[in-house]
Amino acid sequence: MYELNELPELTDYSSLFLNDVPMMDVRAPIEFKQGSFPMATNVPLLDNAQREQIGIRYKQAGQDAAIDLGLALATSEVRAQRICGWKSYIEKYPQGALFCFRGGLRSRTTQRWLAEQGIIYPRIKGGYKAMRRFLIETLEHACQHQSLICISGRTGSGKTDVLLQLRHYLDLEGRAHHRGSTFGNTVYPQPAQIDFENAVAIDFLKHAHYHSGVSLFIEDESRLIGRIALPPNLQAAIKRAPRVLLEEHEDAREQRVLRDYILVQREQFKRCYGADAAPRFASFVLDNLARIEKRLGSERHDRIRAEWQAGLVEFENSGNAERFVPGIRCLLSEYYDPMYDYQITQRDSPILWQGDAAGLVEWARSL
């Protein structure tokens, strides 16, 4: 039988993330929900209630008493259930590793129980806390040293479309599951703040490792992408990065907004909600509009709302979405464009290139 100190322990966090090593997170579900890593799956040692019980005992009577309670809670039935779940995970991901919060008692207990079944599976030294610290430091280093080129442009100019055509880019909106405007939320939930930050840090880590010295394109974003907040160091890096300005005709911008925020979104609602899609989508559109009523002013808000209510009915009846266009035109010219014009005056970073999408892609590929 293996002694605990003989069981394998991994310490190279960079290698874990660069190689997308599968990770078995044995923390409680509530901890996992607050944030983990892209390759992690929650297969807990303790459920939420057990974790809370042991935490209370630890505060009241100390570590030994908490350990005793943990052993008491680990009945033969509970133990068999946990081991069964871990075995299933390990069969699927034999080259993975396990971790808990600090790489301490929970991961060691998991590793020992597995070893008693003849399964040797490595644990990650320092656990979640050490890996999280590593990624925070990775992001800080990237924000100071990674060469960025920021794509700026008015709403509907196609910044994301261009970004995804480039070879070296970081898609913050993709990571945030949000299109970055009042109407940018989708049927899919946004990740936890920590999950977003960890994923972005890993993107930077991989780019620096595999494409060292190569500039990374990134979209110009405000502080918030939906409910996800950009870390201050990343905000600062975007603000000081040199820019390219993407220009597009007004009618093309209107049609792109119609496509992205009405047609594509409606299709997502259909796939997700089926027969309930129409009323849910109508609420989604009108509720988003209501969020900016104060900034639009009641008269403009009410006018656009009336147009869109009629547009929703016509769209569901005939598939014609053109009734949305006048409201989109108003939002672009009277709300989003003035906001962009103001924000662009707050930047003093150099402009490297300016023009349409095709020209920008050609210029970027020539670098």
Q: Which residues are catalytic?
A: 100
The C-alpha angle 102, 107, 113, rounded to 5 degrees, equals 165
Six-digit token string for 122: 């490595």
DSSP 218: E
- Give one word for 32, left, alpha or beta, with left for phi > 0 and alpha for psi -120 to 50: alpha
Residues 175 and 193: beta-carbon distance below 8 Å: no
Give the integer Cα–Cα distance in Å for 311 and 65.
65
Q: Positive or negative CA dihedral for 271, 276, 282, 288?
A: negative
Terminal-to-terminal C-alpha distance of the chain? 58
Helices of type H across 117-186: 127-145, 159-163, 172-176
Q: Identity (one letter) of the amino acid at 237? A: A
Residues 6+ apart with CB under 8 A from 226: 176, 177, 178, 180, 184, 185, 190
CA 4 from centroid of its chain's CA atoms: 36
Are β-strands 351-355 and 97-99 bridged in parallel, bridged antiparallel, or unpaired? unpaired
Q: In residues, how long is the chain? A: 367
Residues 31 and 118: beta-carbon distance below 8 Å: no
Residues 113 and 79: beta-carbon distance below 8 Å: yes
Which regions of the chain does DSSP assign to beta strands (E)? 9-10, 23-25, 40-42, 97-99, 123-124, 148-153, 169-170, 216-219, 224-225, 228-229, 243-246, 351-355
Residue identified by tokens 């008693």 is: 116
Are β-strands 40-42 and 23-25 bridged in parallel, bridged antiparallel, or unpaired? parallel
